[in-house]
Structure 1
């Protein structure tokens, strides 16, 4: 019987060897997990290595040859007009680092890795993680979760990093009506009430963190004249928002829908939560409570 994890590790090792031949330092991390969705391939030239999810490696190998995939990783890492050849040199540029800092929200229990800089959020069982985005393409994000040692080497205090991150997230935030998003992909499709909104980032990639900004929620509430929302953790890439008045009696239905969609439509690595949240916008604060039932 073929051991799937062993097969995946062989693929990671093949990619790693090819990157090593191109002069990169390599490290494969499993974090003592048997779940390949937790595995990472790290590569770079200096002390700070760039991480790529094992699942993204498998996807890349399926879509192109091993050589072409490694060439793409190498090219994206070293493109001279935007990224210096040496990541260590890149990290010395504080302005560049601040511009590329972002935050990811992940399930607290599953993704709280030792060493990663993280914070609790108002959303129970969801935690935020500092992430440095090196390069983003349509299908792949090359970057790394930050550690205290990395920030110290860069010379940015953690409080400053978090403050900068929230500004970046706010600037990239996008809120659209779900029916408008679907209409772009499926012209002629109509949706009935109640009105659903999606909150994400411009790339729709790890955009669920957009919901962390209170001013964003306050401005949106004023725009549609609403002070109470149900927030649905659709995935790590987005939240869905719906007026509380449109679904006040449907909490159990929403919980069941979230569980069903997670099980059948969302990859395990992209799942964010199994219950909705109530967001209440008061004049002096934004409150969030979990609707666990």
Structure 2
């Protein structure tokens, strides 16, 4: 397992907490896995972890365990294949459990409303060129939430609500995706949208949190 410091400043506390979990064997127990395994998204690579391709070229999905500490913070750990030699679930079962947990915490919301709720910024609207609104796809914690884009049922319900059957997907970071109606393509081409993604990556997103250098079209 590859541990990451998600929201704890004291590295010693992280190491102590992880060591305690590993020694107790709790992290391998089925009951624990059922509640703490999720799906994350990242650039496609060669890491020796439990991962699969997605329909978004250049982006892969992987499994991670999210550990909640006593002070309300959390640590995440990417799951490698050797993990399942000790775990009380198979890799196939783990993917199903992770999908369930990920979908349960995912949501899609208008970008203006999302910014207002999260950052207290008052925005009546946030539009793109021809008045096409942006929507944010992420999770409740705002951490590793880009995988919410894999929630087909949620996107289908979103499409029915707004009478949208095709969207442009803008990879913001590993924490969220932006989507907007594919009607935007009547006035703005994919080349321009991809340039926007590349500009944001270069100027706003750290290398380790970037997902892709292009935009995508998705039927929902």
TM-score range, shorter chain: 0.7 to 0.9
CA distance in 2, matches of 1:225, 1:103: 28
Alpha carbon RMSD of aligned pairs, Å?
A: 2.6
Where does the alignment leave 5 or more consecutive residues of structure 2 unmatched? none
Q: Hey, what's the Cα distance between the residues in 2 that align with 1:146 and 1:157?
A: 12
Please tell me whether the aligned partners of residues 142 and 175 of structure 2 are also in contact (alpha carbons under 8 angstroms). Answer: yes
CA apart distance, 1:213: 2.1
The answer to whether the 8 A contact 2:113-2:123 is kept is no
Partner residue, 1:271: 210
Contact 1:132–1:146 (Cα < 8 Å) also in 2: yes
> Where does the alignment leave 5 or more consecutive residues of structure 1 unmatched?
1-48, 61-68, 79-83, 282-293
Q: Tell me the equivalent position of 2:20.
A: 85
Bigger relative contact order (CA 8 A; separation at least 6): 2
- Counterpart position of 2:168: 230
The alpha carbon displacement at 1:175 in A equals 1.1
Determine whether 1:194 maps to 2:132: yes
Are 2:39 and 1:103 aligned? yes
**Would you say 1:261 and 2:200 are equivalent positions?**
yes
The number of residues matched between the two structures is 213
> Segments of 4+ in structure 1 off by > 6 A?
136-140
Q: Does 1:203 align with 2:155?
A: no
Q: Tell me which residue corresponds to 1:247.
A: 185
Kindly name which structure, 1 or 2, has the bigger radius of gyration based on alpha carbons: 1
2:194 partner SS: helix
Q: Using a 3 Å threshold, how does the CA distance of structure 1 residues 137 and 226 change in structure 2: closer, same or farther?
A: farther
* Deviation at residue 161 of structure 1 after TM alignment: 0.7
Q: 1:147 offset after TM fit, Å?
A: 1.7
2:77 aligned with 1:113: no
Residue matched to 2:94: 161
Contact 1:182 1:189 in 2 (8 A): no
Distance 1:175 1:118, change over 3 A: same
